[in-house]
Amino acid sequence: MSSDIPTPNLPPVLRPENPPHRPLRELADRFGVATRGEIADVTLTGITLATADLRPGEAFVAIRGVNRHGAEFAPTAAEKGAVAIITDEDGATIAADAGLPIVIVENPRGILGALSAWVYSTGGDDQLPLLFGTTGTNGKTSVSHLLEGILRQIGVTTGLSSTAERHIAGQVIVSRLTTPEASEFHALLALMRERQVEAVAVEVSAQALSRHRVDGLMFDVAGFTNLTHDHLDDYADMAEYFEAKLPLFLPDRSRRGVVSLDSAAGAQVVERAGVPVVTIGTPLIAPDPEAARAADWVVDIVEERQSGTRFSLTARDGRTLTTVVPVIGPHMAANAGLAIVMLLEGGYDWDRIVAALERDGRVTAYLPGRTELVSGERGPAVYVDFGHSPDAFEKTLAAVRRVTPGKVLMLFGADGDRDATKRHDMGRAGVQGSDILVVTDHHPRFEEPSGIRRTLIEGARLARPDAEIHEYSPPETAIVEAVKLVGDGDAILWAGPGHQDYRDIRGVRTPYSARELARRALRDAGWPVPEPRWPVPYSD
């Protein structure tokens, strides 16, 4: 539902610098079933779902939410300069007194992508940038940043839309949603076109597909990472969750696909895809190593270090390259391999990519909050990671273990008001992969944090009754205590917060940075810390 209540510390919604001028009459003729008020001389310069982001001259799309109808905010939209309301029959009745012309459509949410594509001329325009979309449970953000990093290495002007950030030809904005709403996305794409962006890497969540956020977009290449236990607060079961992701590989969404066989769902995507696909596998981590070895492209791990993972990527025709991804773990090498093959499927030349990687000695992408090493050369290695599923815990802890000579401490919490069915498995994965487990809080939202922690610890105790387990709240205390439990040569994996600069506590975004808290705890304990790499978060 749209809202007129701004959320503090949210980054801006970007618009094209030269806004469109689209007659409301044409929109009504194309999409509307009826109109109210005079629309003949009304011109739109944009479209939005949220009055908090509305600019004068734009249309406000009012949709029904769980508890309220967005049309209740029509008076606010009028005060902020909206020139029209687009809504359903019920919304038109609610918004009647706002004094704005109304276009009535049957399903405002369902056609928002088509509306936005029409307003911003971003539907099927051959002048648009190449679009690379990646979906899957884990790895979407990493693949998106790796795609952009390699594109920049070969000299391409890039765009990016991920859970962590939006990039437009070098400009960096902190993200709000994993995938922006359709109205925001099409405006962003129009701005990228203005700035002569050649290719865009996009993280596509299952929710984005289910909730029409990528409607009106055609991806040149779609990538699939894996499917593991997550988001069962949004989907009834894993089968429904899988079905939510599959549409990205159908002809109305993409032209080609690259599918990883590193989870069992990969083979199902290949079987049911409606577009041409090529496959990639990482035998070391795939549930079926033989199937992964038989993929069109194969990723093999050459060497693992704290500074990164060296891997080879080999095609059936014998082409091969060896390079380094600047984060630890075979799963990150798999993500890098997927990114490279997606670029090849998008038409970028093999020799051009190989030459850039050989010149630089590695993929030069920065992956914010993805197994990000925030510590210095001495003391415990501290990694801050966004992973929040049992599978992510298992893979990342195994990677940390392989590059750590001493003990591994796992620090994590769980989201409140989200999929509670995975909490026991999160505790199990955390305790089985570590020597010391520290359970703390994450985003409690409207849940009682102590109850969340209790369930996590219960899952851990069931798996390892004799394990060393500590409980600290809040996380500001937990990281200080965690650093006291380890020393030089040991490692801490702080999973969950990653790049995020807030905690959601009873609906309030409380400023918070796990990366800064970890650096402060190390510094206070007497360990050296390097200068941070991440940008300063957006603020008002």
Angstrom distance (rounded) from CA 213 to CA 107? 14
For residue 120, pLDDT beyond 90: yes
Provide the Cα torsion 365, 368, 372, 378; round to 10°.
90
Cα four-point dihedral sign 191, 194, 197, 199: positive
* Range 372-524: architecture per CATH: Alpha-Beta Complex (3.90)
Quote the DSSP letter at residue 349.
-
Provide the Cα torsion 437, 443, 449, 455; round to 10°.
-50
pTM, 2 dp: 0.87
Domain with CATH 3.40.1190.10 in the chain: 130-360
Whether 403 contacts 371, CB under 8 Å: no
Residue 104 identity:
I
Angle between helices 330-345 and 390-402 (to 10 degrees): 110
Residue 223 Cα to chain centre, angstroms: 14
Domain with CATH 3.90.190.20 in the chain: 372-524
Residue 126 pLDDT grade (very low, low, confident, very high; cuts 50, 70, 90): low
Helices within 179-314 (DSSP H only): 182-194, 206-210, 238-245, 265-272, 289-293
Rounded to 5 degrees, what are φ and ψ at 151?
A: -60, -40
**3-state DSSP assignment of residue 360:** helix
Tokens encoding 476: 């500001």
Angstrom distance (rounded) from CA 355 to CA 365? 16
For residue 175, pLDDT beyond 80: no
* Range 22-109: architecture per CATH: 3-Layer(aba) Sandwich (3.40)
For residue 295, pLDDT beyond 70: yes
* Range 130-360: architecture per CATH: 3-Layer(aba) Sandwich (3.40)
Domain with CATH 3.40.1390.10 in the chain: 22-109
For residue 402, pLDDT beyond 50: yes
Angstrom distance (rounded) from CA 313 to CA 297? 7
Which of 8-17, 114-123, 482-491 is least confident? 8-17
Question: What's the pLDDT tens digit per position in 40-95?
Answer: 999 999 999 999 889 999 999 999 988 899 999 999 999 999 999 999 999 999 99
- Other C-beta atoms closer than 10 Å to the C-beta of 425 total 19
Instruction: Tell the burial category of 370 from Cβ atoms under 10 Å away from its Cβ (0-12, 13-18, 19+).
Output: buried
**3-state DSSP assignment of residue 305:** strand
Mean pLDDT of 214-237: 85
Encode 230-247: b = buried (16+ Cβ within 10 Å), e = exposed: bbbebbeebeebbebbbb
| CA end-to-end span of the chain | 24
Please give the mean pLDDT across all residues of the chain.
Answer: 92
Tokens encoding 481: 């205590």
